Chain A
Amino acid sequence: MRNLAERAVETAKVRGASYADCRIIYTRQQDFTVRNGKVSDLDQGEDIGFGVRVIADGAWGFACSPHLNAENIDKVAADAVRIAKASARLKNEDVRLAPEPIVDERWQTPIVEDPFLIPLEEKLGLLFQLDKILRKDARIASSESSMSFKSEHQWMATSEGSFIDQLLIRSGVGYSVTAVGNQEIQTRSFPNSFRGQYMSLGYELIRSLQLLENAERVREEAIALLTAPTCPSGKRDIIIDGTQMALQIHESVGHATELDRVLGMEANYAGLSFATTEKMNQFQYGSEIVNLVCDSTVPAGLATLGWDDDGVRAQRWHLVQNGRFVGYQFNRELAHTIGATRSSGNNRAMGWSHIPIVRITNLSLMPGNWELDDLLADTEGGLYLETNRSWSIDQWRLNFQFGVEAAWEIKGGKRGQLYKNANYQGITPQFWRSCDAICNEKYWTLWGVHNCGKGQPGQVAEMSHGSSPTRFRQVEVGIGN
């Protein structure tokens, strides 16, 4: 693989590239779903191909192919250079890459149990067990349990002389159950919605999540929601659970601090950001207890890796420190626009067939010092909101509205009345400034987002967000109810 990757780089240089890299990627994937007592997905797949990225005449070009042979590598490298030269017809200045040390390294996701070595029968057996519990009531219209495993082996060579051999492994599992009745459709999920929890771990993730122990409770909550009252409208103090906090962080901080969208490169599609560059170090993003940290080195994070697709070593840094906006997520190309001397290591591509773009890495709200029981006791009349149901945010990442699967009124220090169809809405900085309590590390978990879409052509990336139950004051809830 090394020879082929280096051949692509050499060909691109001969054709006129001032910079070139080649990534060859072999992917294995298993996806299983049991739905209403039947296997509705049992797919095993593999994929291999390569992508060549070049700078020629000061502009980017990219071409790729699944045909991995020397002749085609030469052709694709030449195509990439031709495309770059076409790009150069409309540029303001030449692309400048922040310097990066030359490396020759290997990195692999640390795992305990290789998920691909676990027998298929064992995996399906667990899903059938879950499905049986989930469907044990006539009001259940559908149940769905799933597992996914992915290994991605990448060999990357650059014209600067770096070579990186990297193996990333990710596992995911989860279930959801939908109850129908009383003119309602209600769903509950575990451990999270949208296919559950995903981490850069092996099969030990599946064994650790108490899937069977929670199935009955989850089913009964879905049924209880059918007759629960609708979440009332108005302003309330709210405590948001860790799973929903993960998406709150993702949408209102993660995407807002991607430097490419701040600079207008996503303007036609995903949008822009209110967190413009003159605000850095000057802007109060949240209250003083809010610390938001990027970390591509944290164990088991979905974006945990050795090097990004720019060949930049994984790092840890603050985006928001004591409430103040202090950092961005960016790549080698954009580092100079904010005066940075080195990339933060956020450039990642979906497989071999896409060009790397700025992606959110693992981004977490650091834990506070509250016990959950104390926080509930201190939030009389508030709402406890759990598990994402829907999400929406404007193109400047300001006005967001999230729906959750379940909400409870807090009464006497406990979760009391269950409400259905709960949602909440806010404006990003005002909302984060209303944060006044965060539960401690005992309640803190990295939650995987495995379906983050961005870019054109569209790319999906994975990342994790660490969070614990967090309180926000006087938030608008029950919109449209």
Chain B
Amino acid sequence: MITETELKTLSETILSKCSGYEAEVMLSSSQNALTRFGENVITQNVASESIGLTVRLIKNGKMGKASTGNISPSGIESCIQAAKVALEVNETDPDLLPLADPQEYQSIDNFVPSTAELTPEARSSGVEQAVRHFRQHQLVGAGIFSNSASNLAIANSKGLWAYNASTASTFSVSAMSEDSSGWAEANEKDVHNINIAALSTIAAKKALDSKSPIVVEPDAWTVVLEPAAVSELMTFLCWFGFNGLAFVENRSCFSGKIGEQVVGSNITMHDHVYHPLSGGMPFDFEGFPRQSVLLIEKGVLKSVVHDRRTAARAGTIHTGHAMPQPDSFGPVPLNLVVEGGDSSLEEMIRTTQKGLLVTRFHYVNLLNPMTLTITGMTRDGLFLIENGEVVKGVKNLRFTESILEALKRVAALSKTLYKADTFWGGGGIVLPAMKIEGFHFTSGTEN
């Protein structure tokens, strides 16, 4: 990985070659390693490093951009020239905004050297530990053990310098019998916080407890959703609900609803990159400081997140949520925090007469953006709860449910908050387990 000093020197060199333009340089570097296993053996084992440079130029109301993975002198020169050509052919944009002035940022310590330095031998040992456990129980294991270190810097011709370095590690494991499976996962910036024995035990127990699954009818069920399942719902809420661009274009289910009760009064959520469990950057992709934003308070919509463009259209202040510019998707909360309640996963189960315990969902997708209706399958541990106890594994079901409607029927939230990784990265989201009444399952499957 390139050091901060090297990135700064490189960015100064690049900016010096862009005289006559407002110029922004985004530089990133990373090293990633991942050991993958299936059928109780290591099937892939990889290490990679990468570099990225993006140059954005502004002149006379026009903008041009180019990117490269080649930071040799000729690669940099070629990238700058491509940005200049793009600017020349671009149309004048009267709404084009100037680059950010220098900013000050809150410090977030996201980098743990020992995570960056984890060796392939150590990853193999971790996998061996999990597989030993599964073999003892006649189960088959699959999963990953990964570690990465990355950094990102933004510099511009106005003197802005924003830098963030982070590490990440994941141990994700599935345990399978002939007719059941279980799963557990941890994502940590410090790899030494990952408890492989505990994760392997959880995955194995779920697989063993859900053997010989029964069929239940797809219907409206009381569900206890473990954090990984809750995170799927929250992901779509962030992308399509709190998206500032969708909001100002009336494409969001929240457009025109600030101040209205949109979900149950027991739901409060923020975008809060400074939460201790979060791992995101303290600035956005234009170099503005990330603000903590109260999104929903006791069920009432308070705000969505904005970059400068969407904020101006909404007549409000921007919240430091710009994506790399120019951006056609819109600003989204990358580090959602859902406040917990006073319950626990155990108590939610204990207080359920008849319901389903959901470990996680699979392949969830959006059906209707206005109602935020999504569909997906359960996976790796669906259990029947009767009279306050988990009694049996259940064959998987498909749900088709409006996230907004589901969040009006939340009966309990856990006090403990959990970190969940997201598809888009960005440091993860923080949320409780939830008990939801009348959750709609619409079809079954053979496994």
A residues with a Cβ closer than 8 A to B are 33, 35, 38-49, 51, 59-66, 79-80, 82-84, 86-87, 89-92, 119-121, 124, 128, 141-142, 144, 178, 180, 183-185, 263-269, 271, 274, 353-355, 357, 389-396, 398-399, 401, 403, 421, 423, 425, 427, 456-457, 476, 479-480
Contact = CB atoms under 8 A, between A and B. Distances in A.
Nearest to B248: A141
B49 interface: yes
A401 B44 contact: no
Given A80-B47, A268-B38, 7 more contacts: A61-B120, A62-B44, A66-B50, A86-B35, A142-B251, A269-B172, A353-B48
B93 interface: yes
Given A265-B39, A268-B142, A392 B68 contact: no
Given A89-B42, A180-B249, A63 B47 contact: yes
B167 interface: no
Contacts of A354: 46, 48
Contact of A40 (B250, B328, B445): B328
A61 B442 contact: no
Interface of B: 32, 34-51, 63-70, 75, 78-79, 82-83, 85-86, 89-91, 93, 95, 119-121, 123-125, 127-128, 131, 140, 142-144, 146, 172-174, 176, 181, 183, 249-251, 326-328, 362-370, 373, 375-377, 379, 396, 398, 400-401, 440, 442-447
Contacts of B42: 59, 87, 89-91
A84 B251 CA distance: 50
Instruction: Please name the 3 residue pairs, one residue from A and one from B, whose CB atoms are nearest each other, closest first.
Output: A47-B69, A267-B142, A480-B400
A339 B38 CA distance: 21
12 contacts: A45-B68, A46-B68, A49-B69, A86-B123, A90-B40, A90-B42, A92-B40, A142-B249, A268-B172, A269-B172, A399-B377, A399-B444
Given A41-B328, A44-B86, A120-B86, A264 B142 contact: yes
A268 B43 contact: no
- B64, B183, B367: residue with the most chain A Cβ atoms closer than 10 Å: B367
A45 B66 contact: yes
Nearest to B66: A44
Determine chain B's interface SS by DSSP, over half rule.
strand
A180 B250 contact: yes
Given A83-B45, A87-B124, A423-B367, A48 B89 contact: no
B379 A394 contact: yes
B443 to A, nearest CB: 6
Nearest to A183: B370
A62 B45 contact: yes
Nearest to B329: A40
A270 B47 CA distance: 21
Contacts of B85: 44, 120
A84 B445 contact: no
Contact of A390 (B49, B63, B366, B396): B366
A60 B37 CA distance: 12
Given A44-B82, A180-B250, A456-B36, A396 B124 contact: no
- A33, A84, A92, A141: residue with the most chain B Cβ atoms closer than 10 Å: A141
Given A396-B447, A399-B444, A480-B375, A42 B86 contact: yes
B398 A42 contact: no
